[in-house]
Amino acid sequence: MSVIINPILRGFNPDPSILRVGEDYYIATSTFEWWPGVQIHHSRDLINWELMGHVLTEKRLLDMTGNPNSGGVWAPCLSYNGGVFYLVYTDVKSLAGNFKDTHNYVITAENILGPWSDPVFLNSSGFDPSLFHDEDGHKWLVNMIWDHRKNRNSFHGIVIQEFSESEGKLIGDPEIIFRGSHLGFTEGPHIYKRNGWYYLMTAEGGTGYEHAVTMARSRYLKGPYELDPITPILTSWETDRKLQKAGHASLVETQTGEWYLAHLCSRPIPGERRSPLGRETGLQRCYWSEDEWLRVLVSEVYKEVFGTSGPSDYVLGPLLPVQSRTVIPELDHFNSEFLNVQYASLREPLDPTWISLRDRPGFLRLRGRESLNSLHRQSLIARRQQSLRCEVETCVEFDPASFQQLAGLIVYYNSKNYFYLRISRDEILGKCLNILSSANGQYDEVLEQDIVIEGWKSVYMKAQIVGSGLQFHYSKDGLHWSPIGSVLDAGRLSDEACSRFQDGYFTDWGFTGTFLGICVQDLTGQSKHADFDYFAYREDES
């Protein structure tokens, strides 16, 4: 008997769109402002998953320069029809306040790794688009409609419109087919067809702790849709489950006839309602009831206590051969010609004008550009934090000539929220260390007095995270370490802490998660570089 351990995709991996093609399973997840866009994980057993690459890897496919925090790529939907992969996705250009600029596109490829076609613009009426391929050959786009008007339901309903592939555009008039349940915040639509029924799966309740999965069905594509008498079919709301925020799901059938639901979830810090790991991806086993409704396979005890289906940490696996798990090395010496697939940059692709593995073999060279406040050109490379107990370490050579030149190790949520152990230069002290902090845009320097490191060629840096505690360390030789500063509040780098509500609407959104990385800034415009010898990421799940 095989067992699936949740979450299957740990760390910031929200809005999963699961797909089977033959014996291969793929999950596409949102990447927001992080580049490249849309992560693709692959599996053959639903237990062991590997990040095989990304879809939106060129500026012709995605240009996020200037996109806001938590903008960018929302809720990609992956489908397959007639030997072709289809991906629809939203590029969010603005989201604070009443208005949302949400541009939806579709691209295609014969291979999941590309090359992908040029984007075809679909609409901007709302977000979370998905493409349904009906048995008669027609293709239909569904997405939520955003209503900006005062005193209205912003989540106006789920709209459907035909997509003409030959004409490269939507045709006919859009029609609202579902207004949602009592839970509200109706989004994330997917349509499935089974035994003559059209099933409409949606995410409801908002993407926080009240998040949920709902289902409705109809004999006709455009409805009317009947809501499942058991609503929602999956939620964590008002439970003490380890997996919280369960919602935004998609469905897959194995080649052996088993059904699984991939869904968004999170693992808050124990005893807190803060999730620095962001929204992750879990998997639940399902079955169809005698009256042909989808049901999540959970214990009867859980149903008796909570009255609905909740996400399980351990799930019965499918009747498929278990594959070996790919082990990702903890230590990256930057000896490869290409950057590891785990790393991401902000808003724009890697370019030799600011990042290089060749200028100094065995080192990653970053050239300083704009500040951490920038929504345009940051020289920052990072990877997802995937455990509440972990540490990262690096060694950097950097010789700043000005206080406007900085480099070091960063624990980053977005341009307004981070902790940064940086090297810089002071006019009196010379080369020095300090920790920079930003909390919802409020800048601070943690140490009252910089630590002098004049004459040091290399600076070793480490960040240790245990739950909500973050402790930086530094060293001259990588053997003898000293803590720097006090224990900081890592829980502050979470969706919950980084969202702000003011005057009746959100001024800041938090939809991502904590990233751990390295960066360089040069506010003089001289592109001062720093050389990083290695980057290590270690976890402790004990």
Supply the residues annotated as catalytic. 15, 187
Q: Does pLDDT of 304 surpass 70? A: no
Sequence-distant (≥ 6) Cβ neighbours of residue 1 within 8 angstroms: 316, 317
Percent of the chain with pLDDT over 90: 93
User: What is the DSSP annotation of 343-403?
Assistant: -BEESS---TTTEESSSSTTSEEEE-BS-TT-SS--EEEEEE---SEEEEEEEEE---SST
Dump pLDDT digits (tens) for 371-419: 999 999 999 999 999 999 999 999 999 999 999 999 999 999 999 999 9
- Domains assigned to the chain: 3-316 (2.115.10.20), 331-539 (2.60.120.200)
Q: How confident is the model at residue 54 (pLDDT cuts 50, 70, 90)?
A: very high
pLDDT of the residue at 327: 87
Residue 356: half-sphere exposure toward Cβ, Cα within 13 Å: 13
What is this structure's pTM?
0.96
Say whether 495 sits in a helix, a strand or coil: helix
Peptide bond into 129 cis (omega under 30): no
Q: Does pLDDT of 283 surpass 60? A: yes
User: What integer is the mean pLDDT of 310-327?
Assistant: 92
Minimal CA–CA distance to 174: which of 124, 119, 225, 215? 124
Q: Which of the two residues, 542 and 113, has the higher pLDDT score? A: 113
Dump pLDDT digits (tens) for 83-123: 999 999 999 999 988 999 999 999 999 999 999 999 999 99
Dump pLDDT digits (tens) for 146-179: 999 999 999 999 999 999 999 999 999 999 999 9
User: What integer is the mean pLDDT of 231-249?
Assistant: 95
Backbone phi, psi, residue 143, to 5°: -155, 165
Rounded CA separation 425/415 (Å): 22
pLDDT of the residue at 310: 86
DSSP, res 491: G
User: What integer is the mean pLDDT of 19-24?
Assistant: 98
Q: Does pLDDT of 302 surpass 80? A: no
Q: How confident is the model at residue 298 (pLDDT cuts 50, 70, 90)?
A: confident
Q: Does pLDDT of 260 surpass 50? A: yes
Minimal CA–CA distance to 517: which of 532, 507, 506? 532
Q: Does pLDDT of 231 surpass 90? A: yes
Query: In a 10 Å sphere around its CB, with 0-12 CB exposed, 13-18 middle and 19+ buried, how is residue 60 labelled?
Result: exposed
User: What integer is the mean pLDDT of 478-489?
Assistant: 98
